[in-house]
Structure 1
Amino acid sequence: MSTGKGPRDKETWWCTNYVQEKIKMKRNAKKRYDEIGTEEDKESSRLAKNEAKLALAESKQQALVNVYEDLDAKEVLKWIYNTAKGRNKATKGITHIKQIKNEDGSVMCSSSDIKGRWKQYFERLLYEENARSIIAHEI
């Protein structure tokens, strides 16, 4: 959930509609104070700012309490370990070939074309370039 303007890397997964409404009220109060500038608008802006801050803190606290309660379940721990294992494996640099060039130099992307190209390459390598005579042994 995004709260609008601001850095895109800020965490807002715990931000609720109630919090977003408070932030909107705070922005409107600030805009009204900037345009008109009366003491009443200044006080209204300050109160809206404090209410938004409080709503954010309460929402984040409640979301974290829910996360910590969910962490007690065995299924969640299993999911966490599997996620960590997957992320660790992803950083090992193991890659899969997803494309290869054929004899003409054009790129092939489908797995069946790639397998066919490897088969063709090894057959040529084994049977044409390094031809071997088969010696039959009589038993």
Structure 2
Amino acid sequence: MWRDFQLYCNEKAKQYLGVSKGAINNNKDTSWWNEEVREKLETKKTLFKLWQQTKDDDDHQAYKIAKKIAKRAVAQAKATARDDFYAQLETASNDREIFKLAKRKHQSSRDTATNKFIKNDQGKLLTSNEDIRDRWKEYYTELLNEIEHRRDNSKRNMHAF
């Protein structure tokens, strides 16, 4: 019953609201990304694809080693970037610079930095969090009322027999 409800909700949501392609820029912190990390992740990805094709234990072991190496490279790059951030904090000359650094760090660590946009029932694009939240509330209220109406009709039809 819940799976059917979920499928019905998703279908109706797509029909009424459309499907968003997501945020254009997610503002994730990439200050740690460098060429060394890119190469190690590319190697890991290639070895994973090879292992998936061959299903060989030797290829699996090579992939696991590359995965450890890539994980270590990412951790070291992130630690270096963090050290740079702390060095900037220590050399900040006033409160304003400290708050700027803190704000930038907070923005880069947020899970979602931008809204996903949806359309209202007239097709107008909604951009504010409040409008989007109100539209979802309105949509689910309509949806639940429609389901309740169907349930009532089915009960009436069953009693008619």
TM-score by length of 2: 0.43
- Higher relative contact order at CA 8 Å, sep ≥6: structure 1 or structure 2? 2
Which one has the largest radius of gyration? 1
TM-score by length of 1: 0.49
Structure number with the higher helix fraction is 2
